Amino acid sequence: MSHPIPIAGDFLSLLAAHNATPFSGGNSERAPVQTQATTVFAFHYRDGVLMAGDRRATAGSVIVTDQVEKILQLDASSLLAIAGVPATAFEMAKVLQTSFEHYRRSQLQPLSLAAKVRALARLLRENLPMTIQGIGIVAPLFAGLDTSVTPHAPRIFFYDPLGAQFQAVGFAGSGSGAPAIRSILSFQERFATPPPSTMTRDEAVRFALRLLMVASEFDSATGGINLAAGTFATLMALESEGIIPIDGTRQAEILGS
């Protein structure tokens, strides 16, 4: 049986041509209790985009761990924030990392932002059988640099579990703690000073940490910030020059200043 010839540089088409689609699922009468990762959000600040997530993963009412890395670097100019089932989300991240690198090496140029956004949407659509069964659901956020403008501008995109994609003008959130965080972001941008879009990077980091503190008070699945225990957020900034990780030590300095 012949297989369709994949488009040059398209790693996902290459997988499909060899019947190696990474996400598929059969029927299941009883789904296991799933590990869930929440909460993630992203917003524009003065010089870029800050993407943040708590570190808690839960399975039902059980806290599985407070050490999950929910903000993942896909390449030198794009970030993925995972909300939903970590096993599925981590696999999607690995496929995207390989896909972006495969294209860069085979075509001698990076994939465009629009193509990266579509690649993630395609993976979510391929995960549809698992989503319909109620297992393996992922509702991620994506941030990437738009290189079609000068200087390169960071953009935020959010998705539903079926793969529909939307560009966020100011901010986006996903996961069980996201409603509280989006409400505060909206209020801060419209009525308070300074609005997130005018904050410096340090101001944005401090604000993001406080957002997670508030969300953890209203949502048991959201892990907060615990200075004594050394529990911080996963934070990465995306600016025109690239990605800037903000580790726990820097978070403690900013929060205490």
**pLDDT tens-digit map of 53-103:** 999 999 888 888 889 999 999 999 999 999 999 989 999 999 999 999 999
User: Would the pLDDT of 164 be above 60?
Assistant: yes
Q: Which has more pLDDT, 113 or 228? A: 113
Distance of CA 157 to the CA centre of its chain: 9
Residue 19 lies in a domain: no
User: Would the pLDDT of 24 be above 60?
Assistant: no
* Residue whose entry in the numeric block shows the structure tokens 């995972």: 82
Distance CA 222, CA 249 (A): 21
Residue 205 lies in a domain: yes
21, 35, 38, 200: the catalytic one is 38
Residue whose C-alpha is closest to residue 117's, from 84, 159, 152, 73: 159
pLDDT above 90: percentage of residues in the chain: 70
Report how many domains make up the chain: 1
Instruction: Provide the pLDDT confidence category of residue 11 given band limits of 50, 70 and 90.
Output: confident
* Dihedral angle, C-alpha 170, 96, 112, 77, nearest 10 °: 60
Q: Which domain holds residue 69?
A: 36-256
Residue 13 lies in a domain: no
Least confident of 6-20, 100-114, 141-155: 6-20
Instruction: Provide the pLDDT confidence category of residue 140 given band limits of 50, 70 and 90.
Output: very high
Listed in sequence order, the DSSP H helices in 40-112 are: 86-107
Based on the residue annotation, tell me whether 131 is a catalytic residue of this protein.
no
Residue 169 lies in a domain: yes
pTM for the structure as a whole: 0.86
Amino acid at 151: P
Whether residue 111 contacts residue 98, with contact meaning beta carbons closer than 8 Å, is answered with: no
User: Would the pLDDT of 200 be above 70?
Assistant: yes
Residue 20 lies in a domain: no
DSSP class of 236: E
Largest CA distance in the chain: 65
Residue 102 lies in a domain: yes
Residue 217 lies in a domain: yes
Q: What is the CATH number of the domain that holds 154?
A: 3.60.20.10
Please give the mean pLDDT across all residues of the chain: 90
Instruction: Provide the pLDDT confidence category of residue 7 given band limits of 50, 70 and 90.
Output: low
- To which H or E segment does residue 216 belong? helix 201-218
Distance of CA 133 to the CA centre of its chain: 23
Residue 84 lies in a domain: yes
